[in-house]
Chain A
Amino acid sequence: MDIQKMLKKYVPMTETAFYILLSLTEPRHGYGIVKHVGEITAGRLKLGSGTVYGTLLKMQKDGVITVFADEQRKTVYEITDAGKELMKAEIVRIKEVHSNAIAFEEGFK
């Protein structure tokens, strides 16, 4: 999948997809992703293993992530260069959302 198609398909991302990719700053196991997302959201986001597995499978097909096996022959997920570009674009969008949220927060008080 080329990067333009990928951006069209994934931006804006669901919260689940965003946090799964955000946890791939280093290669992780499937369950490692579930745990990490739980930690960085202070337990707010409890991702189901079926959701994570399905999302990872789809992302692998689209070339957002890639896989390899560790010493125990367990699958480890790693973000690709295209996946990094995708995250950069999504982070730019979320930053805009964030700055607008702060700028207009007052109006709702």
Chain B
Amino acid sequence: MRKVYRPLWSYDVQKTEEWLAEMAEKGLVFDRLNRWTRCFYFEERAPEKRIYRIAYDKVGSSVLPKTLEEEGWEQSATAGNWEFIFNSRPETAIRTSPVRDGTVKHNRFLTYLFFPMIFYFGAILLNFIASMFSAWVLEGGSNIVESPMWVVTYLFFTFVLGSVIFGIYSIVKITRTNRKLEGTTAPDTALTHEQRDIQAEKELKSAGRWVTKVKFGWMYSPDKMEQWLESMEQRGFNLYRINRIGTIFHFVKGEPRRIAYRIDYQRGPTQSYFAIHRESGWKEKFTSYSNMEKWTIWSKAYGEGEEQPQLYSDQSSRLKHAKRIAITYTALFFPLVAFYIYFIISIIIRADTIQDWFIWNSSGFFMIAILIFGSFIFRIWAYYGRLRKEPTAWGN
């Protein structure tokens, strides 16, 4: 048995897969992984040609799909949610492979953990540097007391600095791996923003056919937004592009069109989400930048006398989906509203007179915040209510 330490093996699973294949060719066949010590254990055997795939699977069973088994894939080890799968057949004979979705999602989750860590430690670091600067440079070090305890401070500083550097390195590395894993099938959102024909846009503008509208917070009443976009098309304002953050809508005055717009929300969708909709004839007009809270505006043209195309074909799945959105956003905004209300109440209790209370300009700010976040919650539930009342025009 041979033991090899590989601390950051999961940051680039493809590289680790290749490394395992090389080891097998050298007569070291992967046996198991200790996730906590980050050590790989190898069995010394006759050299073998093997292809490895590492998959992360939080859901479902750890049993391989039949199709993969028939193509020669075998499980060699599992460690936590990680599965190590290999195939001894020549590479050209293998057409299928385990999916990358689980790994991509896990990597995204890791970056969500690293971002707050960098911000938090970064703030500590800035604070530290600022106080060091004022003590040594501005005050010339005259106020500094000699003490062996300074070692602790410097150790802590090194730890914080190291964490920030490690966090940044991790994010860069993981993001690069995810881009490779998602490959060419990654959603081509660039279409709506970057592939702009500046010249054509200029001509449209000077011809007076360019119309720009601003819309905020449309995700809290998606059905109204869909109707608005559809009515714009019916009046001959063809949606041309939407800016990256989804607030500015550019239209071109042209022919009236029959186009269905559907706004959809998904938490961390993978390429299969975009694939199924695109193949069903939907085009993405907008997709939000964040993967965690992904909003997409889909559009599909339909002919005269044809039924309007739907993303959700039965009322129950549509309702269930709307309810999930409402609950998610309530969970997101309700703590904020509750916190601000608590804050205002504590100010009122402390104030002796009404005038006293109004002097606190911050309570005005909190009131506005309560109104805004409260309206989001109200609007999203109102949307759910409208959907529930809607007669079932389509099936089920």
Contacts between chains A and B (CB distance < 8 A), count: 121
Interface size in chain A (residues, C-beta < 8 A) = 37
A50–B321 contact, CB under 8 A?
yes
Q: Which among B61, B96, B184, B307 is the interface contact of A69 at CB below 8 angstroms?
A: B96
Within the assembled complex, what's the spacing in Å between the Cα atoms of A30 and B272?
8
Within the assembled complex, what's the spacing in Å between the Cα atoms of A16 and B277?
17
B67–A76 contact, CB under 8 A?
yes
A68–B277 contact, CB under 8 A?
no
Q: For the complex, is A4 an interface residue (Cβ under 8 Å from B)?
A: no
B98–A69 contact, CB under 8 A?
yes
Stretch at the interface among B123-131, B310-318, B363-371: B310-318
Report which residue of A45, A53, A78 has the largest number of chain B beta carbons within 10 angstroms of its beta carbon: A53
Residues of B within 8 A of A47 (CB): 313
Q: Which among B59, B185, B264, B318 is the interface contact of A73 at CB below 8 angstroms?
A: B185
Report which residue of B262, B270, B273, B307 has the largest number of chain A beta carbons within 10 angstroms of its beta carbon: B273
Interface size in chain B (residues, C-beta < 8 A) = 45
B65–A68 contact, CB under 8 A?
yes
A63–B60 contact, CB under 8 A?
yes
B276–A80 contact, CB under 8 A?
no
For residue A107, give the distance in angstroms from its CB to the closest CB of chain B: 26
Interface residues in chain B, defined as those with a beta carbon under 8 Å from any beta carbon in chain A: 59-61, 63-68, 95-101, 183-185, 262, 264, 270-273, 275-277, 279-280, 282, 307, 309-314, 316-318, 320-321, 395-396
A-B contacts, 22 of them at CB < 8 A, read A29-B279, A30-B272, A45-B395, A48-B310, A48-B313, A48-B314, A49-B277, A49-B279, A50-B311, A51-B312, A51-B318, A53-B273, A54-B320, A66-B65, A70-B95, A73-B184, A73-B271, A74-B275, A75-B272, A78-B65, A78-B66, A80-B65
